[in-house]
Structure 1
């Protein structure tokens, strides 16, 4: 209904209180300013300004119109600015899906460093479990995935960088009945107790579990913090990432046990969309570093 120029004229007249002063600021003649204001008033069928001897004052309707006009002018400027940024490869937000196995301290440092570099870009973090990380990438809910485990279960335009192997410890509480068993545990001994495991957060891809015997009861928890509390309380048995279990084993809170069939390490990786790189994503990929740095900062308890 109104052009940017018309809204700007109304704003300038209201701010300066004079057609002549507005004309001088906008490099127009006063008659052109007066004509534009009258044209807008005709469109609205209301009077925006009281015409006095050498100045103008806003009516109540004019005050409301100017307030709304300024919001629209600000939004139009922001749209122009953001559109130019997008055209130059920028985006207003970057989303990262983190597998729940990664070190929490590294997440905090990443957020701190990212906002120091990109104060105007939003960082959207989600914590996923197992195939939920790949699901977030496949569904375009994430630009980058950190700590994705197992083989890539999705096709398409995905690049990845190895993060090394994630090792697991089979643990029980120091007070658990199996804690004193001084030999590799058999399935007959293990199946008596619930397996503490995380629920895969995938929405569309097949869900998976780390370790579970046939017909064994599960104790399903949402994250590794909850799992730790259940292990410590002796509510079940199961595998825990070594970088999380190591401090608890060292403190004597948990006991590492040996299985007849040892569980293999899991390959982890950093993954991202090949054709979705922009300055913020490129910075993140460089910041996260090579495979050795990724493993040290995100999966290694000693770092």
Structure 2
């Protein structure tokens, strides 16, 4: 209904308080400004300005129209800038999928540093479990995945960088019946207790599970924070990442146990991203997150 020029004229007249003042600022003659305002008023079928001697005054309808005009001008300016950024390889947002196993304390610093570098790009964070991290990359819900575990379950289109290996400890609550057993625990001793497992958040890819004996009941929880509370309460047994178990063991809340049989090996972890031409924000993040040693120390150690 109205051009960008129309909105500029209305805004300028409102700010300067006269047609002559607006004409001076816009390098027009006053009659051209007056004519433009009259056309807009005719389109609206309302009076925007009261014409006074050598000045104009906004009507109530004019005050509303000017407030909306300024919002539209701001939006139009932002659209232009954002379109230029995208044309130059910028993104309006960057999505990161974090495996629930990573150290949450490192997330806050990442967010702060990212927004310092890219104040106009939204950062979208999700917490995933097991294959849910890979699933987010495949489904386009994530640009980068931190802490993706196990082997890459997808073919092509993904690059990755090692984060080292994730080690596991078998733990029980300090109050659990097995806590005082000094000898290595057997399958027969363990199978009567539920195994605490995390629910894989994958939507497309096959789901994985944590340690589980044949015919053993599961106690399924959504994340490691919930799992820690269940372990401490003595409601089940199972494996926990060493970097999460160690503080709880030192506090005397959990007890690390040895087993008379082999459990799962250490899990390789990696930083993964969708391969191809990388926008500046993605390149910055990959450089910021660093090499394998830095990744391991910051997110898994």
Give the TM-score, by structure 2 length: 0.95
Deviations 1:242-269, CA, capped at 9 Å, x for gaps? 1111122233322222221232011100
2:288 alignment partner in structure 1: 287
Shift of 1:276: 5.6
Once the two structures are superposed, residues 107-153 of structure 1 have per-residue CA deviations (whole angstroms, 9 ceiling, x without a partner) of 12212222222222222111111111111111111111000001111
Secondary structure in 1 aligned to 2:184? coil
Provide the rounded CA distance (Å) in 2 between the counterparts of 1:197 and 1:276.
38
- Aligned-partner Cα distance in 1 for 2:138–2:184: 40
Please report how far the alpha carbon of residue 239 of structure 1 lies from its aligned counterpart in structure 2 after TM superposition: 0.3
Farther-moved stretch of structure 1 (5-14 vs 52-61): 52-61
Report the Cα distance in structure 1 between the residues aligned to 2:246 and 2:66, rounded to whole angstroms. Answer: 64
Q: Does 1:93 align with 2:93?
A: yes
Stretches of 4+ moved more than 3 A in 1? none
- Which one is further off, 35-44 or 69-78? 35-44
Unaligned runs of 5+ residues in structure 2 are: none
Please report how far the alpha carbon of residue 182 of structure 1 lies from its aligned counterpart in structure 2 after TM superposition.
3.0
Deviation at 1:181, TM superposition (A): 2.6
Instruction: Quote the Cα distance in structure 1 between the aligned partners of 2:111 and 2:76.
Output: 30
Q: Which residue of 2 aligns with 1:278?
A: 279
Paired positions, count: 300
Deviating more after overlay: 210-219 vs 243-252? 243-252
C-alpha distance in 2 between matches for 1:252 and 1:11: 68
Q: How does 1:124-143 map to 2 (within 5 A)?
A: 124-143=124-143
Give the 3-state SS of the residue equivalent to 1:178 in structure 2.
coil
1:182 & 1:57 partners in 2: Cα distance? 89
Alignment partner of 1:180: what SS?
Answer: coil
* Structure 2 residue aligned with 1:34: 34
SS in 2 for 1:5: helix
Equivalent position SS for 1:207? coil
- For the 8 Å contact 1:129–1:201, the answer to whether it is kept is yes
Match of 1:299 in 2: 300
The answer on whether the counterparts of 2:211 and 2:263 sit within 8 Å (CA) in structure 1 is no
Check conservation: 2:163, 2:271, Cα contact below 8 A.
yes
Which position in structure 2 is the counterpart of 1:9? 9
Cross-structure match for 1:229: 229
Question: 2:257 maps to which residue?
Answer: 257
Tell me the C-alpha RMSD between the 2 structures: 1.4
Equivalent residues in 2 for 1:99-114, closer than 5 Å: 99-114=99-114
CA distance in 2, matches of 1:158, 1:165: 20
2:153 maps to 153
Match of 1:178 in 2: 178
Aligned residue for 1:152, secondary structure, equals coil
Counterpart position of 1:267 = 268
Say whether the 8 Å CA contact 1:172–1:256 is kept in structure 2: yes
Q: Would you say the 8 A contact 1:143–1:276 is kept in 2?
A: no
1:54-89 deviation digits (Å, cap 9, x = unpaired)? 111222222221111111111101100111111112
> CA separation in 2, counterparts of 1:115 and 1:246?
32
TM-score (norm 1): 0.95
Distance 1:24 1:62 in 2: 21
Q: Alignment partner of 1:205: what SS? A: coil
Q: How far off is 1:154 after superposition? A: 2.0
| Structure 1, gaps ≥5 residues long | none
Q: How does 1:168-207 map to 2 (within 5 A)?
A: 168-207=168-207
Q: Secondary structure at the match of 1:165?
A: strand
